[in-house]
Amino acid sequence: MIPVAGSPQVLVLRDLEQVRSTLRHARVSKGGIDIMEKKALFRIVRVTDLDVRAAGILKQEMLSRGGEVAVSREVYESGGEKADCLLMGTLAQFERLLPKLRAQPFGLRSLAASIEAALTNHDARVPACHEGIPLAEGPLLMGILNVTPDSFSDGDSYTGTEQAVRTGLEMAEEGAAFIDVGGESTRPGSDRVSLDEEAARVMPVVKALAQSLPGRVSVDTYKARMAADALAAGAYMINDISALRMDSEMVAVIRDADCPVVLMHMLGEPKTMQEEPTYEDVVEELHAFFVERLNWAVDNGLKEENLLIDPGLGFGKTTVHNLEIMRDLETFRSLGRPIVLGASRKRFLGEILGIDEPRQRDLATAATTVMAVTAGAHIVRVHRVGLNRDAARLAQAVFGPGQDARQSDG
């Protein structure tokens, strides 16, 4: 049946900006908009390992405000000490809930602060970040420049310094905000290379690019000495596939340099990471991983605004895992850190589309760039900058912030 009377239309509103625009279009008064805007957005918040007594209070308080809390069965079974909860409600209901939780025992006061931070982070378009990363101009592109003979995608293409530097400059001209130089292949099954060999590949390129592109050179390494030398030579950012876990000295290098660092998730190490990777819930486990890593980094002296996160597509994940991460990428916004995504030419794209040659996966990569931008990712790592620049701009034009012609408070 086609609806006719009143022309009912189901609206999809993603944020408060869209809600306010829609209310204005309906000619709602400014006072009415202020009252109703937070009633139009529904949020689901997952909380794990909560004291069962706290879970019972949480459910009671949210129900009294018109929301709902789904709780794990431990709340009702004798002997259970911890429970998981799904809080479901509008922003207005959460707003009324949180002050009440701050007066409750069993850890609910700190939980209220965490829920408030998660909701605020999720709805913030631009998280606080190092001043050299222009997120407000986003989405940003990071050009992948592998100076290795065995890269899965472009091995041996840029092993000569002159060619590598020329390619990096071309990427910058096409719109790359950063050039990510890597001297050790981390494809599945790859072996580690020595520090000397990695430095011989990377340092000449970093030195040359840093002169022409100050503040725009990133180095893809997990070795502290490599990172320190690259930063001294003019690199701006470090991209660590191990999230500061493979070299105990890396955190000190980042702290002393006061530079941005990308913390990437990887299960195991490149040599073995694709040997039957297993998760119960890949998105939930990655979220917990980043909570631990971010807190560890801050506890060890790193500034929060210098930390970025990357879910590490293809690094210890099956095709199904990668798709689940892409589908739920938006959930990582609640961590309040810039999200970096690298799907470019990855094997899972070839498995889905039947494309064996990595360089033939650029159109598929552009599709993932659109998905990343719509989910709120801030930096996308790509091999083909121009193609993905256009894809990102189109996605931003459709789904990004903008002034609606109907908006007016007058």
Q: Which tokens hold the place of 228? A: 């320190």
Report whether 320 contacts 339 (CB < 8 A). Answer: no
Q: At what angle do helices 224-232 and 195-212 cross, to 10 degrees?
A: 30
Q: Which tokens hold the place of 241? A: 């596939």
Residue written as token pair 């602060």: 113
Q: Is 263 left (phi over 0), alpha (psi -120 to 50) or beta?
A: beta
- Determine if the peptide bond prior to 139 is cis (ω within 30°): yes
Residues with Cβ within 8 Å of 11's Cβ and at least 6 positions away in sequence, in order, are 22
H or E stretch covering 196: helix 195-212
Residues involved in catalysis: 346, 381
33 half-sphere exposure, CB direction, 13 A CA radius: 18
Report whether 261 contacts 306 (CB < 8 A). Answer: yes
Report whether 158 contacts 164 (CB < 8 A). Answer: yes
Could you give the residue ranges of the DSSP H alpha helices within 258-339?
282-299, 319-327
